[in-house]
Structure 1
Amino acid sequence: MKVLKREKKLLRLIYLLCLLLFVNLGFLEQPYDKFAIIMGVILCVLIGYSHFVIRRFYPDGDKFILIFASTLAVIGIATLYRLDKMLAIKQLVWVTLGLIGYILIVAILPDLRSFAKYKKVYMIITLILMPLALIFGNPDIGGAKNWIEIGPFMFQPSEFGKIALVLYLASALATYEDKKNFKEDFMGLLQPALVSMFSLACMVLQTDLGSALIFFGISVTMLYVATGKKKYVFTCLGLSAVGATAAYFLFGHVKRRVMVWRNPWAYRYDEGLQIVQGLYGIASGGLFGTGLGQGYPEYIPVNDSDFIYAVICEEFGIIFAVGIMILYFLLFYRGIRAAFVTDDKFSQLIAVGFSTMIACQTLVIIGGIFAVIPLTGITLPIISYGGSSILTTFFALGILQKISEEA
């Protein structure tokens, strides 16, 4: 009962945040924008109904996963509404589809343990998805060849490839047994290592450095959790250092990203424009922000996806932005918690993989915006605009919810 009370208290806070944001957005136009209120009410109903279904029919799992994800979705849609109404409406559709998928995963999927035996299927899907954009992708979108256009629709195969890779590594590493003979032990891990290296190579060739970092983080974390051996982690780190150095000298786009990262002000009128304008926006927002609708996000390139966090920093302030990072940490914590409450190794590795995926994606894009690491063009989970990212993130969260239900 105490948990239910905490959930209801958090839901009321989400409703309050949602209505305050959209009431404020309505005042940005004259006459008053009534559609903003409609959007806010729709979001509240959608979130409330999703929680009701999960709580009513599947009461045993961790409902805070859904609550934290819903909070991020509210912030994302409100920010997009301030930038472009049509994008906000499209994002609402994607979030609705994501929540439907989330509920269906919990309701329809049988015991996850029965999916551990499909290792070859996951491997084949991973090997197909990873080079897909390299072969059929459009190189003129965002500077990276990671998008595929099919008529009016566009999607990123690497977003779905992340899901397939986690499932493959979980099924491959779930049967790992420590062998005293180093050669036998190494040979047992050779296939997962080759699949991971193939995925990383495809991302580098597509100039999708953000996804490469995420795949590396997922692979190393799952390897350590499965084996418990630090020597494999240090070996991976050493190989990645050699690979990164080689990529710097072999690929011009990698060298340019590093040069812009080292001194973005020298490239502030071309390749460094995005970072510089983002830093200006963050600085002008200060601790408490300029106020919703009072900033100048139109000067920040790609402000609806890659740099939406800079827009939030400018108009909501650094304190609010740090609160968002805390929400991502809590989402990561609830995901890792699901791994601790189950005794099935396959489920444990899936929970670790998906939690790491969300955490890595968040840290990589925020680190790039603040110029802590070279900028990589990826989305901020749930908040940034993008159908592929929304669907895959809610799929991952649905699996985490399923694991917590089964445990």
Structure 2
Amino acid sequence: MSELQTAPVPRRNFELLLLLLALSIGFAAFYLVGSASEEANSRDFLLEMGILSGLTLFVHILLRIFAKYADPVILPITIALNSLGLAMIHRIDLSRSTNQSFRQLIWTGIAILIAAVVLWALRDHRNLRRFTYISLVASIVLLLLPMIPGLGVTINGARIWIRVDDFSLQPGELAKITLSIFFAGYLSSNRDLILMAGRKFGPMQLPRMRDMAPMVIAWLLSIGVLVVQRDLGSSILFFGLFIVMIYVATARISWVLIGLLMVVAGGLFAATTMGHVTRRLNTWLNAFDPEVYHATGGSLQIVEGLFGMADGGLVGTGLGNGSPYRVPLANSDMIIASFGEELGLIGVSAILILFLLLITRGIRAALGSRDTFGKLLATGLSFTLALQVLVIVGGVTRLIPLTGLATPFMAAGGSSLLANWIIVALLLMISHNSRRPMSGTVGPTDELATPGSASSKAVNPK
């Protein structure tokens, strides 16, 4: 009887209800933008939302067939964020007589279709564990592609793009996925060795130098990205990803402390020896200095964004009634500032709550996973979304220096949209495998070591 009571049930009907609500939010946002504009193309949103609705229904049907036990909240939240981003990009287009929103819609279609292929082809996330070291090689190749003469291009001071004719892509966005797969595979395979080895130093147990090799590689890789490609955001993301995953795998605070020391060392080195990092810090600390404000690549973007959000106040000026187009890169790097002006503090808070719900559902999938690889992979993928939101919102609000990371699902840019939709597909598959009924004989447990657990006591006997 207890088995019948705890048996998981598909919640696709609940997901469909949430999807209708998410699409309604997108329709409402587009309508408000169009009603505030006198442009003839302000009604093009019917085509855009119609295409997005069709793609949403397609993924929903695919989940009913291949992943019917997947989390019912992840997809609706993603659609809501994506549709809001399309609406704001469309709003900026109407002010600048551009057509970036339709290009973003094309990238949305490509990203959703590739995510659908991942759902159809993968079926079981544990198959990715066989590609652990292939993922490491793929990550290195993806990060080095922009350095190839004739292929890589420099945009806004960072050499993180590749371009073939009119097609451009940021390979580092895909590298965060392959790095997550590598870290999850390596740590799930070597967790016991890392836990058992090393010497104790007071309350901490330090790892052996040979076991620190992957961490050192990750650190050098992140610093290399910062030095060669001048990309501060990706450097923070890659190294932070590994620190979080190794802490989840080992529950050892020593790894975090070592990682923080390496971050401090790398940060001091970058701040004192790298001109672009020094300028970024100066722009952050002295944003309201007239010389910094008017300098090329100065603080104009940050200050205009701050004044725009201040003008929005608590409830905002209303979609289509503000002037976010005055901010450079208002539809990409500064899209959160655009929402802050027209939706106010309440609107931005609602968006951040959606991100929080999406990240917590990813962590929930990690907690429910029956294998260590799935736990680590879902944690790493969820953390990449969390760190992106933290870094970009902190930069826009001037809590930390502004970096080049994009707001997931909302900012204009196909590379980020593609990578984040693949992350959503992987989280959906992991959540499906964690909730579906177990078939066959249950194998030995594969749990992560936690403080006070049996495995932890075995590793550290009294």
TM bin, normalised by shorter chain, reads: over 0.9
1:5-404, aligned counterparts within 5 Å?
Answer: 6-27=14-35, 28-31=37-40, 33-84=42-93, 86-136=99-149, 140-175=154-189, 176-177=191-192, 178-182=195-199, 185-205=207-227, 206-266=229-289, 267-270=292-295, 271-404=298-431
Question: What displacement does 1:61 show?
Answer: 1.1
Structure 1 unaligned residues grouped into runs of 5+: none
2:12–2:68: 8 Å Cα contact kept in structure 1? no
Question: What displacement does 1:222 show?
Answer: 0.3
Corresponding residue SS for 2:412: coil
RMSD: 2.0
Corresponding residue SS for 1:59: coil
**Which 10-residue stretch deviates more, 201-210 or 38-47?**
38-47
- Taking structure 2 as the reference length, the TM-score comes to 0.84
2:22–2:77: 8 Å Cα contact kept in structure 1? no
1:130–1:202: 8 Å Cα contact kept in structure 2? no
Corresponding residue SS for 1:126: helix
- 1: CA distance between counterparts of 2:159 and 2:66? 43
Question: What displacement does 1:120 show?
Answer: 2.0
- 1: CA distance between counterparts of 2:106 and 2:242? 32
- 2: CA distance between counterparts of 1:59 and 1:172? 30
- 2: CA distance between counterparts of 1:306 and 1:33? 24
Question: What displacement does 1:110 show?
Answer: 4.1
Question: What displacement does 1:349 show?
Answer: 0.9
**1:334-353 CA deviation, whole Å, 9 max, x = no partner?**
11111111121111111011
Question: What displacement does 1:95 show?
Answer: 1.2
Question: What displacement does 1:54 show?
Answer: 1.4
**Which 10-residue stretch deviates more, 302-311 or 118-127?**
118-127
2:29–2:87: 8 Å Cα contact kept in structure 1? yes
2:146–2:153: 8 Å Cα contact kept in structure 1? no
**Which 10-residue stretch deviates more, 345-354 or 5-14?**
5-14
- 1: CA distance between counterparts of 2:40 and 2:120? 44
| Higher CA-based Rg | 2
Corresponding residue SS for 1:117: helix
Structure 2 unaligned residues grouped into runs of 5+: 1-8, 201-205, 435-462
**Which 10-residue stretch deviates more, 198-207 or 352-361?**
198-207
Question: What displacement does 1:170 show?
Answer: 0.8
**Which 10-residue stretch deviates more, 54-63 or 385-394?**
54-63
- 1: CA distance between counterparts of 2:138 and 2:15? 38
Question: What displacement does 1:387 show?
Answer: 0.9
% identical aligned pairs: 33
C-alpha change, 1:114 and 1:287, in structure 2 (3 Å) is same
**1:181-211 CA deviation, whole Å, 9 max, x = no partner?**
4399424533321331232022211111011
**1:67-99 CA deviation, whole Å, 9 max, x = no partner?**
111110000000111112621111111111221
**Which 10-residue stretch deviates more, 1-10 or 307-316?**
1-10
1:22–1:39: 8 Å Cα contact kept in structure 2? no
C-alpha change, 1:212 and 1:181, in structure 2 (3 Å) is closer
C-alpha change, 1:191 and 1:119, in structure 2 (3 Å) is farther
Matched residue type, 1:38 = L
- 2: CA distance between counterparts of 1:156 and 1:124? 17
Matched residue type, 1:268 = Y
